[in-house]
Structure 1
Amino acid sequence: MNLTRFANAPQYFPPNHDGMHCLRLQGHEAGPSDTIWLGVSHILPGGGTTLDASPVEKLYVVLEGNVTVVTEGGEETLGPHDSCRLAPGEKRALKNRTNRPATVLLAMPYTK
């Protein structure tokens, strides 16, 4: 078993993320994982990502607050325990358009 205590989760710095504090929960520098990694991001009011795609699918679960997920097909605002899947190559932007911080869990496979 690989255990990562939240207090000890390593921070990481993905490109095109502004006003966000990103922590790795499993995989990469947080420890071994064969297929997927988990991260959690705190998104400050006004923070978010640019409209970008990755070659692998992404799964998001909002843990706290509200996060607007913008795609080329439109946008949806997710609240606590709402989730979404983004297909490989699907562009997305995350936006916190509220005055409260939001927290999002991310699960995605390792890129090949």
Structure 2
Amino acid sequence: MQVTRYSEARPYEAPEHYGMACLRLQGKEATQTDTVWIGLSHLLPGGETSLKDAAVEKIYVVVAGEVTVETPTESVTLAFLDSCRLAPGEARRLVNKTNAPASILLAMPTG
């Protein structure tokens, strides 16, 4: 068993993420995983990512506040414990349009 305590989770830099603090909870340099890694991002009011795609599937779960997920064709605001899946190659932008901080979990393949 490999445990990552939130108090000991290490930050990581994510390109084109603004007004956000990202922590690695599982996978990559945090723990040994075979298929997936888990990150937690804290978005300040106005925090956002650029509209960008990834070659792999992404799953997001909001754990605090509200986060708007935008694709080239739609926009949805996710609240506490709402989730969404983005297909490989599907561009997305995350943005916190509120005046309160928000937090979102990310799960994606290690490869």
TM-score bucket (shorter structure): over 0.9
**For the residues of structure 1 that align with 2:8 and 2:66, how far apart are their CA atoms?**
25
Q: Which runs of 4+ in 1 moved over 6 A?
A: none
Aligned residues: 111
**For the residues of structure 2 that align with 1:29 and 1:100, how far apart are their CA atoms?**
30
* AA matched with 1:51: L
TM-score (norm: length of structure 1) = 0.98
Secondary structure of residue in 2 paired with 1:80: coil
**For the residues of structure 2 that align with 1:47 and 1:103, how far apart are their CA atoms?**
11
1:47 partnered with 2:47: yes
When the two chains are superposed, the root-mean-square deviation of aligned CA atoms in Å is 0.5
* Uncovered stretches (5+) of structure 2, i.e. residues with no partner: none
Within 5 A, what are the aligned runs for 1:14-29? Answer: 14-29=14-29
Deviations 1:49-92 (A, max 9, x none): 00000000000000000000000111000000000000000000
The equivalent of 1:9 in structure 2 is 9
* Uncovered stretches (5+) of structure 1, i.e. residues with no partner: none
Deviation of residue 31 (structure 1)? 1.1
